[in-house]
Structures are given as C-alpha cells and as structure tokens.
Amino acid sequence: MSEQLPARRLLLVHAHPDDEVSGSGLAMAKYAAEGAHVTLVTCTLGEEGEVRVPALAQLAADQADQLGGYRIGELAASCAALGVTDHRFLGGAGRFRDSGMMDTPPNKNPRAFWQADVDQAAADHLVPVIREIRPQVVITYDENGFYGHPDHIQAHRVAMRGVELAAKDGGEGEPWQVSKVYWTAVPKRQMFESFRQFRDSADNPFKDVQKPEDLPFGTPDEQIAAAIDGTAYVPAKLAGMRAHASQISPDDWLFKISEMGGAATEFYTLAVGERGSDGRETDLFAGLGV
C-alpha cells in the first residue's frame, strides 16, 4: 500500500473517539487538505464516556452499555468532516475497552486498555500499521496523557513503543524509522487566558485558577516546538466536534473558544527527531525533504 501513498504521511494515535478532533483536528484537516495521507488509530470505543444527550442516556456503560458502538458512527462523521479517510481502531473495534478514570471499577476491567500489555499491543496491532503506512510523522500524547487519563497515558506508551519496534528487524513487513514524533500540547499561558474568558461557564473546571503556573496540566511556553496555524480549518474542526454530539454539548466552552478563533492554532512538543527550522516550527514535516 505504501507505494501508492502520497509523499507526506502522518499517523495519529488517540485514546477515544473525539480526542482526535479536540487535540489535533486542525492538523488533521490541514494535512489532509494539502494532500498528505493522514491515518488515525483510535485505541478504544470510549464506552465509559459521559453521555451529554438525554435521549441517548440509556446507551451509557451502567445502562445498556452500547455507547461504544454509537461512538463508532460519531467518529466516522468526525473524520469525514476533517477530510480523513483512513481510520482504524487499534486491533479492531472493541479490542480494548475504555478504562475510565484511575482507581475506578472500569479501570480494573481485564479488557480495559489500561490493563493491556504495552509490548503486545504495540507489536501486534500498531507496528503493522506503521510498517504499512510508513509515516514520517507520528502524533500522540505526552507521558501524562496530557491530563492524566489512563487511556491517554497508555496510548502514549503504545505509540512510543510501536515507533521503536517498527524500526527493528523482526515481525512482518519491512522495518520503518519514523522521523518525528510530536506530543500534543497547550501552552499554559494560552490555556489560562482561555479559562479566564469563560470564568463564569459552569463547565469550566479551572475558573478559580489565579495564574498559569497553577494549572494542573499544560506545557510551559518554552517547551513548545511547533505551532500549526489552522485558521482555515476551524470550520472543519467545529464540524468534527459537532459530530461527537454524545460527548461535546453545543454550549461547551471548547465550542465557544473555537468559534471566537481562540483555538485556531495547535501546539506540539517534539519528542523524537530534529527540528526542521529555527524557533517554533510551522510545519510538522519541516526538514524532512517531503
């Protein structure tokens, strides 16, 4: 398949449906529109998500437990809005279950992604995708999964291990060395300013934070390696967010920030590889000659 793919190839590893659009939707839309091959790997169905639509409440994990299947459709609609046609679930839909939060019963479920063997999940399910697509650039989360969710942390671990194993001999397919790995990031100062704008919003969990360094997550500005301008793709991101209606309500502060243009840039730290330009990169493929 790789011989037929475009010169630029981007692979993203996300934990749940909706993470793709909230964390990297602008980059996905931008590079897809520019002709790159964009592959999204989602690690779970998001079965433990909080249902935001009353009419769908019976789908929840403690009811009919059908939310994961419903979210497959939402994810397909989000990818369509972003212009992404290559989406896979890690190991197939339902291989790994949403782990819920730390120290909760779902987190201890033997099928939970958090309980998966990292080496096996990477070797059996992610390495084949990497060797098939042969991406130059991979996007995932930092070691803390950006905000500490166990599935985000596990997605980070599987992605990083998969990149490492894909470059080694052994297994099926030709080894492939990924050139760059980026971790999603939000500068602390920008996050702080965004929360300040919506200090009175009921769903703003940090309305009482007084200064950027007091935020429990976020990235210091000096650690940001890349800033991707996605101004032209904000409508696509908003459409992708709306596709996840069971999870993101229309009055969510994320919508408000995006509609005001406050989320027109996505930020990343560079975990593997060399910067392709001085200062902050404006292209994730900078310096790769493609």
Q: What pLDDT digit, counting tens, does each position of 221-257 carry?
A: 899 999 999 999 999 999 999 999 999 887 776 666 6
Domain annotation covers residue 215? no
- Among residues 163, 113, 120, the alpha carbon closest in space to that of 140 is found at 163
Contacts of 179 (CB under 8 A, 6+ apart): 136, 137, 273, 288
pLDDT band for position 190 (50/70/90)?
A: confident
Domain annotation covers residue 135? yes
Q: Does residue 272 register a pLDDT over 90? A: yes
Domain annotation covers residue 207? no
- What's the whole-number mean pLDDT along residues 268-280? 95
Distance separating alpha carbons of residues 243 and 240, to the nearest angstrom: 5
Q: Does residue 212 register a pLDDT over 90? A: no
10: left (phi over 0), alpha (psi -120 to 50) or beta: beta
Q: Which domain holds residue 104?
A: 2-185+224-272
State the pLDDT at residue 249.
Answer: 80
State which amino acid sits at residue 147: Y
User: What values do phi and psi take at 121, rounded to 5?
Assistant: -60, -40
Domain annotation covers residue 258? yes
Distance separating alpha carbons of residues 123 and 129, to the nearest angstrom: 10
Share of the chain above pLDDT 90, in %: 76
- What's the whole-number mean pLDDT along residues 268-284? 95
Domain annotation covers residue 197? no
State the pLDDT at residue 144.
Answer: 93
User: Which of 24-28, 42-46, 151-155, 216-220 comes out lowest in average pLDDT?
Assistant: 216-220
| Domain count across the chain | 1
Domain annotation covers residue 285? no
Q: What pLDDT digit, counting tens, does each position of 108-131 carry?
A: 999 999 999 999 999 999 999 999
Q: Does residue 80 register a pLDDT over 70? A: yes
Domain annotation covers residue 216? no
State the pLDDT at residue 194.
Answer: 66
